[in-house]
Amino acid sequence: MFNKEIETKAKIHELIAGRWSGRAYDADKIVSREQIISILEAARWAPSCYGDQPWRFLVFDKSTNQIAWDKAFECLAAGNQSWAKHAPVLLLACADSILSKTGDANRWGQYDTGAASENLCLQAAALGLMTHQMGGFDANKTRKIFEIPDQYMPMAMITIGYQLPESKIEGDMKEREYTSRSRNDLSENFFEGHWQVPIKI
Amino acid sequence: MFNKEIETKAKIHELIAGRWSGRAYDADKIVSREQIISILEAARWAPSCYGDQPWRFLVFDKSTNQIAWDKAFECLAAGNQSWAKHAPVLLLACADSILSKTGDANRWGQYDTGAASENLCLQAAALGLMTHQMGGFDANKTRKIFEIPDQYMPMAMITIGYQLPESKIEGDMKEREYTSRSRNDLSENFFEGHWQVPIKI
């Protein structure tokens, strides 16, 4: 995927700086099984509270199981389907709400699953692949179709694949894909020693 | 921090593979302001649902504000205090439960905050620093002391600092610090097209 500049007050690692959520997937280039396993291994080695590993990921690989991919695709919101249709791999990230070792509620289930998903997206970027996480999908429908037990919460659908060559990105997609990346100022989300006190730079 | 081998079915990026949660901090080596800002910038550039950036981080830097650091330290569980006492920087990660743009509930607040924290830990690793996230702290106490509004959930305290030189890691700490890293088999957490169907490798 192509590089989009970001503004930072201190340098950050290129792997973290370079990841962004594109939409222009190349339907003609598959993601190899080795790449998929590499991406999952990155999620597997994320940290978690008590080492409980509350994440569960369902993989939908169009090149090996079109039927499952179609079922996952049908759970996406229409706005996401419009571009996700070209992504060769879809993932569904689910979070366990119960600690496996004690049976107690796990209040870090979603937090830790978010960490695993981020590792996964960064590893994809390291392989030259693009990811895009989506909240816009029918969680209850995924629950029913894929028989996800009540204790697990479907959190995000994730597209994975290669980005289209820049010369082939056209129309509305081009405008969206080239939009600048932006974030809040550091002072809005990062505090110094007390709530709402802006971090000193 | 020193390297601890991990077992993977496919190669992953060294930044992701190399991060682990150590406990043997070097109390004599401070984390510079530039390093802190770099670490926070990595969190800032994490992805989030609707770009809402639901994370808030409180920074407790012993070298510039010992009083605030002490207050944060007092919120840790005793077991964590025993080793976290040597960490020069503590962070508190909080998750917004409300979407800032609409005022609706944000069901991805904790998930996205987990992603930001993972970016932060990876950036620390890129700088040669060690992090350790802890669920073991008194969330209500942090709420009271730092005046955290109800809509934000204190999720994790995080230590940051340099690891002690290996020659100085002694006793029980040595045993803990050298314990092998482990995870579930891929098949336990990663499924192929349907719940509980093990991923094909």
Closest chain B residue to A5, measured at CA: B45
Which residue among B38, B58, B188 sits closest to A10, beta carbon to beta carbon?
A: B38
- What pLDDT does B190 receive? 98
Q: Residue A118 has what DSSP assignment? A: H
CB contact under 8 A, A42 and B12: yes
In 3D space, the residue among B97, B94, B115 whose CA is nearest the CA of residue B106 turns out to be B97
Residue numbers in B near A8 (CB within 8 A): 38, 41, 44-45
B182-193 confidence digits (pLDDT tens): 999 999 999 999
Task: Report in angstroms the alpha-carbon separations of A103 from A98, A100, B114, B126, B135.
Answer: 6, 6, 22, 36, 17
Q: How many contacts does A have with B, using Cβ atoms within 8 A?
A: 253
Give the architecture-level CATH label for domain B14-165.
3-Layer(aba) Sandwich (3.40)
Best mutation target, A145, A190, A201, to test chain B (most B CBs within 10 A): A190
The H-assigned helical ranges of B45-150 are: 66-73, 78-84, 109-126, 139-145
- Is the ipTM above a cut-off of 0.90? yes
Is residue A147 within 8 A of residue A154, CB to CB? The reply is no
Average pLDDT of chain B is 97
B112-138 confidence digits (pLDDT tens): 999 999 999 999 999 999 999 999 999
CB contact under 8 A, A184 and B44: yes
CB contact under 8 A, B190 and A40: yes
- What pLDDT does B139 receive? 98
- What pLDDT does A125 receive? 98
Tokens of A195: 């709530």
Distance CA A190, CA A196 (A): 8
Is residue A186 within 8 A of residue B57, CB to CB? The reply is no
- What pLDDT does A143 receive? 98
Instruction: For residue A150, give the 3-state DSSP assignment.
Output: coil
Strands (E), chain A: 55-61, 89-96, 130-134, 152-161, 190-192
CB contact under 8 A, A199 and B113: no
CB contact under 8 A, A190 and B135: no
CB contact under 8 A, B16 and A122: yes
Best mutation target, A118, A184, A188, A196, to test chain B (most B CBs within 10 A): A118
Per-residue pLDDT of chain B (201 residues; tens, 9 = 90+): 899 999 999 999 999 999 999 999 999 999 999 999 999 999 999 999 999 999 999 999 999 999 999 999 999 999 999 999 999 999 999 999 999 999 999 999 999 999 999 999 999 999 999 999 999 999 999 999 999 999 999 999 999 999 999 999 999 999 999 999 999 999 999 999 999 999 999
CA-derived radius of gyration, chain A: 18
In 3D space, the residue among B57, B62, B75, B59 whose CA is nearest the CA of residue B25 turns out to be B62
Task: Report in angstroms the alpha-carbon separations of A31 from A131, A177, A189, B113, B127.
Answer: 12, 21, 36, 28, 31
pTM (two decimals): 0.98
Is residue A86 within 8 A of residue A25, CB to CB? The reply is yes
CB contact under 8 A, B195 and A113: no
| Segments of chain A scoring below 70 in pLDDT | none
CB contact under 8 A, B112 and A112: no
- What pLDDT does B124 receive? 98
- CATH class of the domain at A14-166: alpha beta
Which residue among B10, B118, B192 sits closest to A38, beta carbon to beta carbon?
A: B10
Which residue among A37, A67, A149 sits closest to B10, beta carbon to beta carbon?
A: A37
- What pLDDT does B91 receive? 98
Distance CA A123, CA A116 (A): 11
The Cα of B168 is separated from the nearest Cα of chain A by a number of Å equal to: 26
CB contact under 8 A, A113 and B118: no
Share of chain B above pLDDT 70, in %: 100
Distance CA B97, CA B132 (A): 24
Residues 6+ apart with CB under 8 A from B50: A135, B99, B101
| Longest Cα–Cα distance in chain A | 54
Task: Report in angstroms the alpha-carbon separations of B175 from A50, B23, B26, B84, B87.
Answer: 18, 11, 17, 17, 19
Residue numbers in A near B67 (CB within 8 A): 193
Distance CA A74, CA A89 (A): 14
